[in-house]
Structure 1
Amino acid sequence: MANRLAEATSPYLLQHADNPVDWWPWCPEAFAEAAERDVPVLLSIGYAACHWCHVMAHESFEDADTAELMNRHFVNIKVDREERPDVDAVYMTATQAMTGQGGWPMTCFLTPAGEPFHCGTYYPPRPHGGMPSFKQLLAAIVEAWNQRSDEVRGAAGKLVASLAKHTAALPVSDVDVSVLDGAVASLLGDFDRRNGGFGGAPKFPPSMVLEFLIRHHERTGSVESLSIVEATADAMAGGGLYDQLAGGFARYSVDESWIVPHFEKMLYDNALLLGVYTHLARLTDSPTYRRVAAETAEFLLRDLATAEGGFASSLDADTDGVEGLTYVWTPQQLTEVLGEEDGAWAAELFGVTPEGTFEHGTSTLRLLREPDDFARFESVRARLSAARGTRPQPGRDDKVVAAWNGLAITALAQAAVFFEEPEWLTAAGRAADLLVNLHVVDGRLRRTSRDGQVGDSAGVLEDYACLADGLLVLHQATGEKRWLDTAVSLLDDALQRFADSDNVGAFFDTADDAEALVHRPADPSDNASPSGASALASALLTASALVGHDRASLYREAAEQAVSRAGLLAARAPRFAGHWLSVAEALAQGPVQVAIVGDSPSLLAAAVRKAHGGAVILAGAPDSSPLLTDRPLVDGQPAAYVCHGYVCDRPVTSVEELVSSLS
């Protein structure tokens, strides 16, 4: 049996390279094999940090009898959803249409033409809770294929046709101030007033929605908007979702009270939350938000930075096959590390109880109150962190994903400027260098790399957009024009390759010359990270303020058209349009542009501290950048030029005048 996954750049595929299952990577040859043998394709999609993916692998894919059934009756394809989000999107849509829900591991059965006819998620090795065993499912699929092949193929073709209709572009609908106000009212109705966040369990960090609400508060003064953000940020930072010892956020909470996390830590979550807590620290000057932002930035640099300069995708939920093993504590373990007095103090502070809040009498660490002795708090955390470092550690998916690294570049560069931490800015620059020098091949962006080897998967829209957005922020933070030039190149490619020519303002998630799937994915909703289209709208709007006049109007118009395609989504489901709404808030503000000519750290610091979210801030010598062109010093002094969209104030030379203009 060929080990076709042995040379993969995906750690998830490598985890399955030694299975007795005859896995294929996603490739035309696999479907040709299925057509030649006249057997269905079994498509299994997951990712390296997925707990239930590991469980199903251990129960089924490592089992020789199950593998024998799979090999005899199917062509088996294993896909890393993070490496091929386009494949994942197509079959997730089919899974949700068939079952009403989706998730990973995803298990789909396809015709040799790639058309899905049965989809699901995790299947147990024995019947359980009304679910068939995986072997029973395989037998049923084989029987249906052999006995009713024409019927199965016909139903699959009809499903694909239906999915194509239901993934068409949304109609144009403006996102004006009434829609923004309505989104806040809707979110207020969904807000969990007791626990923070939205909805019930499982509860995910609503990063992009929080950013929208901050921007809405800045524009309107809405007390409700800020109260939702602060209550949610406080609950997340004080709960088990946040690593109270080393910083960084887990993927989600399995309960509505943020007590027990699903322990995997994802790059995209932490990049987005770094941005939220940095913005909150800037707005409120809260020491808690400052601490959480700083610790999250340090988590990125310490635990996710790769040797090549990028950022790894995730840390696993499991350690040695046990979820949370690295992170949970008992009162006795605290005492063993800290002694009786500090152990009891830490147990009370962190909510570690004899009964436990997790499993088998263990507890996650929460911060139930602000410590009254911060030096003692830091000493306790340092000793517990050192002890935890001697435990087995979760695995790391060190695959570098372009889009998520773009989010990290954005957050680190913004935080570096506000907190005056040059090391963070250097890290953002290293990641940008890696992506620009390694991931751009023959003028086109590749999605992933690992150990300095670029992968084969073509970049999707979110890769182009999130990287462009990050480079634009890096340009503002450093003044280096090369970042602006590369971002413009990425945006021009995105406008040319991903636009829906039949629907102005709409975009596909794959390029016009990408591999043809059973339908071309185009999902405008913001989920765990910004949709490709909303990220593109954000980058286009920012670029419109930074480029010369020849491109500025083109980019702004493209951003406005893209936002108009998300109007219905923003009005009807604002929890899945957070990034769109943030872009719309920036549009409503102009966006704000602050051009500082001359060397004035005080003017720059005031702009960074007081400008609203989505503002464009650039400092440098006169005429050193398009935004600084025709903006001279004033009476030989450094000056700040503030514009809101197309309307500009007179230049100011004092911090007081600049703060007044930004207010």
Structure 2
Amino acid sequence: MANRLADATSPYLLQHADNPVDWWEWGPDAFAEARERDVPVLLSVGYAACHWCHVMAHESFEDEATAAYLNEHFVNIKVDREERPDVDAVYMQATTAMTGHGGWPMTCVLDHDGNPFFAGTYFPDRPRHGQPAFTQVLQALSEAWRDRGDEVRGVAENVRQHLQRGLDTPSLVPRDGYSTSGGPAVGADALDHAVEVLANEFDAAAGGFGGAPKFPPSMVLEFLRRHGGDQARHMLARTTAAMAGSGMYDQVGGGFARYAVDRGWVVPHFEKMLYDNAQLLGLYARLGNEQGQRVARETADFMLRELRTAEGGFASALDADSAPIGGGKAEEGLFYVWTPAELVEALGAQDGRWAAELFGVTEEGTFEHGTSTLQLRHYPSDPHDRARLAAVRERLLAVREQRPRPARDDKVVAAWNGLAIAGLCDAGLLLDAPEYVDAAVAAGELLARLHLAEGSRLLRVSRDGVAGKHAGVLEDYGCVASGFLALVQATGDARWLHLATGLLDEALAGFRADDGGFFDTHADAEALVARPRDPSDNASPSGLSSMVHALVAAHALTGEGRYRDAAEAALATVTNLAEKAPRFAGWSLAAAQVMLDGPLEVAVVGPAGAARDALAARARRLPGAVVVVADEPRDDVPLLAGRTAVDGAAAAYVCRGFVCDRPVTSPDDLG
């Protein structure tokens, strides 16, 4: 018998609709029920592609005895962190403060006002690895609520005060505990210092930063690309090459897994997230080298093949787990790993052995049960071997399609689709692949049609062509605005500029803080224990850094000084974060670098043809440049106003830092 989650739109919540746990969605009715019954609230937060969320569900939430205890002693709320990032942010702050670490599944126990007095992540079904069983934790919490109510309420009040200090004021980033408030705008010295800090954390042997687990540092790499200099270029080249040849990259089907569990990028956590692939697609396309072009094409093709929805948007993620051929329990990575025998069976003896050597597939295996992830040890230089590799990949992809596929979380998240639009626009323009721009336009149309409500108010998610009920958060406004501004540059259609500036104006009115930074929720959003505010980048850009990028691009296209002023004020609130923890401020640093360098605004105007295409292509290779192309002057895109061809030839008008150069007609004059 299904529980209340049967009517949810979130695929993650629907995964729990048949649990014996009497789940509630987040909302006032659940807290009213807890108050009436005088029991605490158990909050469980996760997401559809989360491996350990599945494990805890199988062990505990599908267990009749555990569910019976939960139903008797708690009111149980299930939240999809991707659908409600505001709820997730507040209680992740509490979890990190109370335990020293965070992650999903996240388990919090709350009083009737939503104040947490206990927090943790995964709990096993029986004691192991020094952890108590989930039922033991539940029993202790229920007894504490019943027998030591004053103590519980005291803890909850202390946590509430901590959350309000940490979230209602400029964020206290829990990784290092320093404030992000105050300070001047990020200048040249701060950017150089950030590169030095990154160099000290750089893994010279394997690429990337820090040890295991190792995440793709997309935004940091883009900052390094824009900063330039030998040190920055070395870290960029070493890391992008390491990731492209790694087991974290799908050598058969393209696209990146969420992270590698080891320092050397050999074994990934196999879930594939839209936000990672959208960012890495754009990064590799902008590298301007052969490897970058290959990886960008393969990643874009993966996104269109496996993440694109029937409505033209992009699904959130592919699961890490899949079932074996013939049925059985789903396991992590089964869809992606190979043995030497499987390669021979798929390719024949000669090509199978060749592929095993090229991809590092051994009898011992690099993963589990004698299987191996595929790592491209070197990209062949011989044209014959490259053709052979392409044929091998195609045949392996066909064979792999016969395996049971990982589940897909097919909800469309506004922010991540904004990232996808921007990445596809870059890839389409830089790789001369108009099909990618067409896909970006279709995703933009979906966002404009379904996610924009009441003028410039955004809704966070949609699924199967139906918009969800949850309001957009700051990252939605920043990323969607950036995506729309990328569409202006890719298509020349001024409608996208109008939509983007509407979103930015709404965000400036509804999210801005007194110090020039931003809260992550709108001023009229549902009141939580604290109003979230976190400027640090994680796997995707923070709301603040995404807003800064959109504001800089909007200023370049419109000339509106208030957008640049807002970007500078927001960056000034993250100076300390950028200097002390640049790995968590990569996107803000990338924006700061562009602002320091100009930013670069380029209008290419003149008759269509090879000459105009060459000018535009060169301009788009300039780090951080905003580039628009048109046949003639246009007033609906202010950067194009008054720009004309020169003696009938296409010309590029370049402005940097409020100063414009004379128009040039040769790509060589663009630098």
One fold, TM greater than 0.5? yes
Residue by residue over 1:177-225, the C-alpha shift from the partner in whole angstroms, topping out at 9 and shown as x without a partner, is: 00000000000000000000001110000000000000001xxxx0110
Q: Which amino acid is 1:226 matched to?
A: R
**Aligned counterpart for 1:616 among listed residues 626, 640, 647:** 626
Residue by residue over 1:641-661, the C-alpha shift from the partner in whole angstroms, topping out at 9 and shown as x without a partner, is: 10102011111222333x2xx
In 1, Cα distance between the equivalents of 2:566 and 2:248? 38
In 2, Cα distance between the equivalents of 1:42 and 1:173? 43
Residue of structure 1 equivalent to 2:326:
none
In 2, Cα distance between the equivalents of 1:653 and 1:154? 71
Q: Say which SS state the counterpart of residue 114 (structure 2) adopts.
A: coil
Decide whether the 8 Å contact of 1:316 with 1:396 is kept in 2.
yes
Residue of structure 2 equivalent to 1:246:
253
Offset, 1:44: 0.3
Q: Say which SS state the counterpart of residue 602 (structure 2) adopts.
A: strand
In 1, Cα distance between the equivalents of 2:107 and 2:136? 14
Offset, 1:609: 3.1
Offset, 1:604: 4.2
In 2, Cα distance between the equivalents of 1:649 and 1:157? 60
Decide whether the 8 Å contact of 1:108 with 1:118 is kept in 2.
yes
How many residues get paired?
Answer: 646
**Aligned counterpart for 2:388 among listed residues 372, 376, 393:** 376
**Aligned counterpart for 2:596 among listed residues 583, 588, 594:** 588
Q: Say which SS state the counterpart of residue 7 (structure 2) adopts.
A: coil
In 2, Cα distance between the equivalents of 1:507 and 1:289? 34
Q: Which amino acid is 2:627 matched to?
A: I
Structure 1 residue 319 corresponds to structure 2 residue 322: yes
**Aligned counterpart for 2:652 among listed residues 640, 644, 647:** 640
Offset, 1:370: 1.7
Residue of structure 2 equivalent to 1:493:
506
Closer, same or farther: CA 127–290 of 1 in aligned 2, 3 Å: same
In 2, Cα distance between the equivalents of 1:595 and 1:339? 54
Decide whether the 8 Å contact of 2:286 with 2:430 is kept in 1.
no
Residue of structure 1 equivalent to 2:338:
329
Decide whether the 8 Å contact of 2:615 with 2:665 is kept in 1.
no
**Aligned counterpart for 2:416 among listed residues 393, 404, 407:** 404
**Aligned counterpart for 2:465 among listed residues 441, 447, 452:** 452
Offset, 1:165: 1.4
Decide whether the 8 Å contact of 2:286 with 2:426 is kept in 1.
no
In 1, Cα distance between the equivalents of 2:129 and 2:2? 36
Q: Which amino acid is 1:23 matched to?
A: W
Offset, 1:160: 1.3
Residue of structure 2 equivalent to 1:5:
5
Structure 1 residue 310 corresponds to structure 2 residue 344: no
Q: Which amino acid is 1:531 matched to?
A: S
In 2, Cα distance between the equivalents of 1:563 and 1:33? 43
In 1, Cα distance between the equivalents of 2:613 and 2:188? 30
Q: Which amino acid is 1:567 matched to?
A: T
In 2, Cα distance between the equivalents of 1:294 and 1:324? 23
In 2, Cα distance between the equivalents of 1:361 and 1:656? 54
Give 5+ residue unaligned stretches, structure 2.
171-180, 324-329
Provide the TM-score with structure 2 as the length reference.
Answer: 0.95
In 2, Cα distance between the equivalents of 1:420 and 1:339? 36
In 2, Cα distance between the equivalents of 1:331 and 1:34? 56
Structure 1 residue 627 corresponds to structure 2 residue 636: no
Identity within the alignment, %? 61
Decide whether the 8 Å contact of 1:598 with 1:639 is kept in 2.
yes
Q: Which moved more, 1:621-630 or 1:336-345?
A: 621-630
Offset, 1:2: 7.0
In 2, Cα distance between the equivalents of 1:489 and 1:37? 46
**Aligned counterpart for 2:227 among listed residues 185, 209, 216:** 216
In 2, Cα distance between the equivalents of 1:377 and 1:2? 48
Residue of structure 1 equivalent to 2:474:
461
In 1, Cα distance between the equivalents of 2:646 and 2:350? 63
Decide whether the 8 Å contact of 1:608 with 1:617 is kept in 2.
no
In 1, Cα distance between the equivalents of 2:239 and 2:23? 43
Offset, 1:294: 0.5
Residue by residue over 1:596-651, the C-alpha shift from the partner in whole angstroms, topping out at 9 and shown as x without a partner, is: 12224434433433542221101112134211112233233322110102011111
Q: Say which SS state the counterpart of residue 6 (structure 1) adopts.
A: helix
In 2, Cα distance between the equivalents of 1:157 and 1:532? 28
Q: List aligned pairs for 1:354-373, cutoff 5 A.
A: 354-371=363-380, 372=382, 373=385
Decide whether the 8 Å contact of 1:274 with 1:296 is kept in 2.
yes
Residue of structure 2 equivalent to 1:261:
268
Decide whether the 8 Å contact of 1:173 with 1:568 is kept in 2.
no
Give 5+ residue unaligned stretches, structure 1.
none
Closer, same or farther: CA 539–263 of 1 in aligned 2, 3 Å: same
Structure 1 residue 173 corresponds to structure 2 residue 184: yes
Decide whether the 8 Å contact of 1:418 with 1:609 is kept in 2.
no
**Aligned counterpart for 1:347 among listed residues 343, 348, 356:** 356
Q: List aligned pairs for 1:406-485, cutoff 5 A.
A: 406-443=418-455, 444-485=457-498
Decide whether the 8 Å contact of 2:615 with 2:651 is kept in 1.
no
Structure 1 residue 387 corresponds to structure 2 residue 395: no
Decide whether the 8 Å contact of 2:606 with 2:648 is kept in 1.
no
Residue of structure 1 equivalent to 2:562:
554
Residue by residue over 1:64-83, the C-alpha shift from the partner in whole angstroms, topping out at 9 and shown as x without a partner, is: 00000000000000000000
Offset, 1:54: 0.2
Q: Which amino acid is 1:225 matched to?
A: A
In 1, Cα distance between the equivalents of 2:37 and 2:189? 58
Decide whether the 8 Å contact of 2:615 with 2:652 is kept in 1.
no
Offset, 1:593: 0.6
Q: Which amino acid is 1:634 matched to?
A: V
**Aligned counterpart for 1:649 among listed residues 661, 664, 671:** 661
Residue of structure 2 equivalent to 1:103:
103
In 1, Cα distance between the equivalents of 2:162 and 2:184? 24
Residue of structure 1 equivalent to 2:74:
74
Offset, 1:591: 0.4
Offset, 1:545: 1.1
Residue of structure 2 equivalent to 1:202:
213
In 2, Cα distance between the equivalents of 1:446 and 1:146? 40
In 2, Cα distance between the equivalents of 1:656 and 1:584? 27
Q: RMSD of the alignment, in Å?
A: 1.1
Decide whether the 8 Å contact of 1:603 with 1:655 is kept in 2.
no
Structure 1 residue 190 corresponds to structure 2 residue 201: yes
Residue of structure 1 equivalent to 2:85:
85
Q: Say which SS state the counterpart of residue 108 (structure 1) adopts.
A: strand
Q: Which moved more, 1:599-608 or 1:376-385?
A: 599-608
In 1, Cα distance between the equivalents of 2:196 and 2:576? 15
Q: Say which SS state the counterpart of residue 292 (structure 2) adopts.
A: helix
Q: Say which SS state the counterpart of residue 291 (structure 2) adopts.
A: helix
In 1, Cα distance between the equivalents of 2:650 and 2:622? 22
In 1, Cα distance between the equivalents of 2:72 and 2:94? 25
Residue by residue over 1:533-556, the C-alpha shift from the partner in whole angstroms, topping out at 9 and shown as x without a partner, is: 110011001000111x4xx11001
Decide whether the 8 Å contact of 2:477 with 2:504 is kept in 1.
yes
Q: List aligned pairs for 1:48-63, cutoff 5 A.
A: 48-63=48-63
**Aligned counterpart for 1:228 among listed residues 212, 235, 249:** 235
Q: Which amino acid is 2:123 matched to?
A: Y
Offset, 1:174: 2.2
In 1, Cα distance between the equivalents of 2:95 and 2:158? 15
In 1, Cα distance between the equivalents of 2:618 and 2:233? 17
Offset, 1:303: 0.5
Q: Which amino acid is 1:310 matched to?
A: G
